Structures are given as structure tokens and as C-alpha cells.
Structure 1
């Protein structure tokens, strides 16, 4: 019997293995499919390579904004090869690490539970004192559409395998992945149309910032808000999409249809009902919010196998921390929580740090909002990136920073600073005592903090 069996070798599973091997050699990691991570293979890394190319092209084409007259001929024929080349570099580094692990610790195959301490893999039974489940997730799509469209319907798992940039693309969804990929494709010269169920883009909950984001991103990207296809069909060149707009039947022909409407867990492959008969509805699994324990069993589910925030650094953190609970079971502790941090690599970038505007409002927490617009901010004007705004949320009595939402150039950097501020429980007064170099985009953050402080008693 093993001390720990880890199921899944993505970000969370790999992190769990690296932590577990420090404490025991009596462990096993089981994986179905590729022994690398969603992030490196089909997620954050290849998408950022694509976005980098798109943003560089956009900067060249809009050089007049910084007083330059540029005549350029841009060849995009190598973009997808470049994306895959760097993607392979990232995944090969992971696979090299995995290949260095002790061979007897690894099994390739589909794991399924037969009871709370036994799984079968390739017809062989394996038992453990505890389990870490890190099977990850996969994009969702309409199975009937897939049958109709074949390889003309793609998800984020297939888009980076395209040999060349398509002439046209329709994107279903307006969340994080949809907006990142749609905006990048549009900037690379792909005629892109987004179909959005609602008026929301990305993940911002502030109504003011949402409106800014919708208006700004819509300037150069065709988003059909509150409009979804009524039917799709294959044609000789790609896909015909039928939809209703202004009470009129419309058609759109595109080469590919990208579905980016969310992800579903691979937990349904594990036969969890053999652990307990009630574990058939994955949405009602009794997974503890802070320990990640499944029911009363020595089983811990980490990463995006059971999460509303499929974020790489959180998955790795949970994987590492779950090992301690496995080894010390039944004495288990809450996993140390990180300051919530989510970034959308749109242009401008979006970010949410700590508690969002909606979370604070729903919890009826007394806070003030400090806001700054970047339309006239000095450094943003110099960069010709003067759009968007940010908000910071300050607790009225403690004066501590509770959260922030950003829609601004280089939000990724300010979001990290804010996450560290929140994790250190700093007050608005303590932060404003720190240096803010001139001229920087961070000076806008200082303006928002000052705006908030003026509202405090």
C-alpha cells in the first residue's frame, strides 16, 4: 500500500509529486494523456506567445500614435509555427523533468476508484493510505455541433495546432479565454466575430469598469452582445453560422468556429460513486473549501479539477500543501490561502485582486472606492496607451486595502503589487508612504489610493 497516490500530472499533480518525494519514496503518480501541463501545452503559455505577436503587430500598425510614420509589410505566415516552437520549448522542459523521476513512481493510464482506498489502472489494482486528485479539466462544447462541423469546430485545445492563421474566425463566449484569443486573432489580421451570451467581457465585476472594457474592446473587435448562434452548418470553405440580430435572420461564413464557453472537470472519469454512492453529481461533491478534502475520506481534490478559479499558481500551491494533509491524516489543516489574483491578457489588460467589487458589495462590507482614469495619465499618454481605469477598495474602519479591479495597460504588474499589499494587510496610509516613481503607470494607482483616502473619515 502506498502512502500517497497522485492522480493527474498537470500543474497541481506535478507540484504535489515534487513535494511528496521530499517526505516519502512510497508513492505513485498516475496520469492519463500527456505528461505536461494545460498551461504549457494549450493554455497560458502558447496563448501569451500569440498575444505577444498580435500586440507587436498592433504597435507597428498604430505607430502614428507616438509620432512615427511607418511603412511596413508584415508577413504573418510564420506566426503559428512560432507559437508551436515556443510551446514545445515549454512543454519539453516539463517532460524532461518528469522523465527524470523514478520510473516505478509513474504509470500511464486511466485511473478509476473501486473503493475509498483502491484504484484500478490498466486492469491492475493499486491501494493507498491517501489520494491527491489533480485530473484537471477540459473545454466544453456542444457535441452535436462537433458532429456537424468536425475539425472546423475548435477549442483552446486545438487552436494552436492550426498550420496557419485563418482568414476568418467566429468565437463563442466573451470570458477570459474568448477575449484573449479573439482580440489576438483580430490584431493579427483574422476577421473575427465574437458571439456573447451577455454584455460582460472578461471577469470584471465593477459596472463602471465593465462598461469601459466593453466600449474599448469593441472599438476594434466585432462583439455581438446578447447574441448566440441559432444554428451552425458545414460549408465547402468552413462554417455557416445562423443568428438573429435586430429581429432579423443573419448568416456569417467563417473558416473556423472557436468555442470558449468554459471548462468541465475530468472528475467524471474516476468512478467516484464507488467511493460513495452519492458522488454522482460532480457539482454537489462535498469538497471542503479550505482543506480540499472529499467528505471524510483521506482524498484531496486540487487544482482546476474542482475550482471556479483555474489559475496556475493556485493549482501548484494546492498540490504542494495537500501533501502535508495526506501524510498527517487524520490531522489535517486548512490549506494556506493566497490572495486572490486573476489577470486577463487583453488590451488593455484586466485584473482582479483580493475581493472584487461584487464580493464586497454582496457581503455588505463597508468600503470606499478609489478610482482613477488613465485617459489623461502622464505615463499612459507618453506610451499612447491612455485608456481604461482602475479601482481600489478600502475598508472604512481599518483603512486596509481589501481588493482592486483594473482595466489598464500593464495591469499585470500593478495587480501583483496590490496582491502583495493585501497579503501584508497594509493600510492606504502605509502604502501612500511608499515611493511612487515619476513618470510611471503606478502613479495612477497612487491617485486612486488618494481618492479613496479623501473619502475616509
Structure 2
């Protein structure tokens, strides 16, 4: 068993972990970043960056479709789904390359591969090979898509999450987007503008992150003008039918159901905390097992441990 002692240990080399690393270097060279998964950040691989590439293609199609308002007539609009997704993947890979190159250029003694878990408030076990004693610890372990078990059971391999969209070789014929948050709205609108038949189903009446009731009302109207939306669809029934999935809300009869090639689960991203052994850390936790932290500083209670990013 290897043993290390550092001033700052950072769990996760995603966007938040990389930012924490740069900030820590302003105070000490005794920094260690621990990562158990691939380098490249969620943002670059499957999040903000590839989604904006898809949105850019969708905006180009949308502009062409409405160009006649400016006296520009597009006689025949054709969307090449394979070319759209090829560009998304190519540019995504380029972005990821920048991030991995940055991490690869860190000193070797600042990087450690393996999954970390707390043994006590100052000690981390990394894999089965290294024990790390740290004066300060930053939890930047990211998040993962929320997929209710009943959806997975009903849809099987026809159910995907946002991470999977950016591996598509071409655009599908139809997608049901389950969720009405930011990720759901971005992908639903982009796919719709690229010619995919989309249905968006929201559990509540709320659309996006806005909390002001007037803005919520306006947002619902704006999106409903373009997207087929079913809000307040908390009682959702999915049924696999061949290579499609039938979606029905509540006690609607079979005639009201819609069938889709894919079901995209976009119903939130819980933090990656379950495998960290936080119960051994002595940190105060809420009922979900999430540390109680100051949202302004990220400090957990008055401890030497901080939390950052999606976690």
C-alpha cells in the first residue's frame, strides 16, 4: 500500500476539479487530483460543449427555414443527419483533446488514478493501491443522469440519456424527451429543429429553471408554440412495442398514446456521492446523504472539506 501526504486532495478531474487544482496551486505545490474515470470533463464530452454544437446546427436549419422573411428563398431544405452528428463528434473530440492535453501536462506527482473513498475526515483510500492523508479535501466528483428503474425496465435498450445522444451516427426519426429542465429543453428544441419528431413530457407544470411565475407562464407559451409538450405528466406509462416505445399519460386510452424510436431520460442529475464513504468522514449530511455546505464558499460546515461543481 502506497501512502501519500498532501496539503490539498481533489476528488475528480472534471471542470470543477480542474478549477480547484488551479486555485490550490496559488497557495501550495502539494496538490493531488484523484480521478477514477476518463479525463475530459462532462462539459466537454457529453454536456455543454457538444449540446451547443447540436444547437448551432439546429439554429442554422431554423434560420434557413425562415429566411424568406428577409427575401432569401431556400427552395429545398435538406438536413443531412449523418453530417450533423459527424461534425458534433469531431468538434467534441477536439474539445476533449484540449482538456486531456491540459491534464497530461500537469506534473505526474499531481495526478492519481483510482476511485477515492473516505476512511476518516483526513484520509482517503484510492483504489486498493494508495492511502492519501490530506490537510484539505475538495469533493468535485460530478453527477450522473437520473433514470427511474421503471423507465429502464419498460423501455430497455430504447432508453438513452443525454450522454448517449452525442454518440449517434445520424439523427433518429423520433424521440420522446422525459423532463422539462435545461438539458431536456435544449435537446428537445435542437432535435425538433433538425427534423426529428419530438414529444416533451414534464412531470410538473414547470419549464426550465425560472422561478418567477410570470416568467414561467411566458416560457411555457414560447416553448409550446414550437414543441409538442405534455406538462403535468407525472403518471407516465411506457411500453416497449417492437423497436419503438409507446408513451401514454395517466388513464388515457390506447388511441392517445404516441410511439417513439427513442426515449431520452432528461430528468435531472444527482451527485456522484454514494461511493465516497461520506459516513466515515464525520461530515454533516442531509437526508439524501449530501454534505451540508455553504453555497457561497463550498465549505462543508466549518470543516477542512469543500464541495464544488455538479456534486
In the superposition, the TM-score normalised over structure 2's length comes to 0.91
Moved more, 223-232 or 153-162: 223-232
- Which of 35, 57, 61 is the matching residue for 1:31? 35
Which of 205, 210, 215 is 2:221 aligned to?
215
Q: Deviations over 1:62-98 (max 9, x none)?
A: 1122233220241322111111111111110000110
Residue in structure 2 matched with residue 105 of structure 1 by the alignment: 110
Task: Provide the C-alpha distance between the structure 2 equivalents of 1:92 and 1:229, rounded to a whole number of angstroms.
Answer: 42
Q: Distance in 1 between matches of 2:293 and 2:221?
A: 39
With a CA cutoff of 8 Å and minimum separation of 6, indicate the structure with the bigger relative contact order.
Answer: 2
SS in 2 for 1:303: coil
Q: Deviations over 1:297-349 (max 9, x none)?
A: 211111121xxxxxxxxxxxxxxxxxxxxxxxxxxxxxxxxxxxxxxxxxxxx
Give the SS at the match of 1:119: strand
1:12 aligned onto 2:16: yes
Instruction: Check the 8 A contact 1:30/1:106 in 2, yes or no.
Output: yes
User: Does residue 300 of the first structure (1) align with residue 306 of the second (2)?
Assistant: yes
CA contact (8 A) 1:79 1:164 kept: yes
Is 284-293 or 168-177 further displaced after alignment? 284-293
Name the SS for the 1:198 alignment partner: coil
Identify the residue that residue 151 of structure 2 maps to in structure 1.
145
Deviation at 1:278, TM superposition (A): 5.8
Q: Distance in 2 between matches of 1:168 and 1:73?
A: 19
CA shift at 1:217, angstroms? 1.7
Structure 2: any 5+ residue segments left out of the alignment?
none
Mapped to 2, the partners of 1:221 and 1:230 lie a distance apart of 19
Which structure is larger by alpha-carbon Rg, 1 or 2?
Answer: 1
Write the distance in 2 (CA, Å) between the matches of 1:138 and 1:198: 21
CA positional deviation for 1:33 = 0.8
- CA offsets per residue over residues 202-226 of structure 1, 9 Å max, x none? 2223333322222222122100121
Pairing of 1:119-130 with structure 2 (within 5 A): 119-123=124-128, 124-130=130-136
Q: CA deviation at 1:27?
A: 1.9
- 2:234 is equivalent to residue 251 of structure 1: no
- Indicate the residue corresponding to 2:53 in structure 1: 49
Matched residue, 1:366: none
| Structure 1 residues 118 and 200: CA distance shift in structure 2, 3 A | same
Contact 1:195–1:229 at 8 Å: present in 2 too? no
Deviations along 1:128-167, one digit per CA (max 9) or x if unpaired, are 1111111111111112322443331111111111221110
Asked if 1:95 is matched to 2:100, the reply is yes
Q: Which residue of 1 aligns with 2:84?
A: 79
Q: How does 1:313-328 map to 2 (within 5 A)?
A: none
The equivalent residue for 2:205 is 199
TM-superposed CA distance for 1:283, in Å, is 5.3
Q: Aligned partners of 1:73, 1:291: CA distance in 2, in Å?
A: 50
Distance in 2, matches of 1:90 and 1:53, equals: 17
> Which digits, 9 at most, give the CA deviation of each residue in 1:247-297, with x for residues without a partner?
545322111101111110012220000012864744563212333222332
Aligned to 2:120: 115
- Within 2, Cα distance between the matches of 1:84 and 1:111? 31
1:170 maps to which residue? 176
Show structure 1 runs of 4+ deviating over 4 A.
none
Deviation at 1:19, TM superposition (A): 2.5
Query: Displacement of 1:42 after TM fit?
Result: 1.0
- Give 1:154's match in structure 2, choosing from 152, 160, 165: 160
In the alignment, which residue of structure 2 is the partner of 1:392?
A: none
Query: CA, structure 1 residues 274+216, in 2 after alignment: closer, same or farther (shift >3 Å)?
Result: same
1:190 aligns with 2:208: no
Structure 1 stretches of 5 or more lacking a match?
Answer: 306-457
- Size of the aligned set, in residue pairs, is 304
Mapped partners of 2:194, 2:136: distance in 1: 48
Question: How far apart in 2 are the matches of 1:235 and 1:93?
Answer: 42
Q: Please give the secondary structure, in 2, of the residue aligned with 1:131.
A: strand
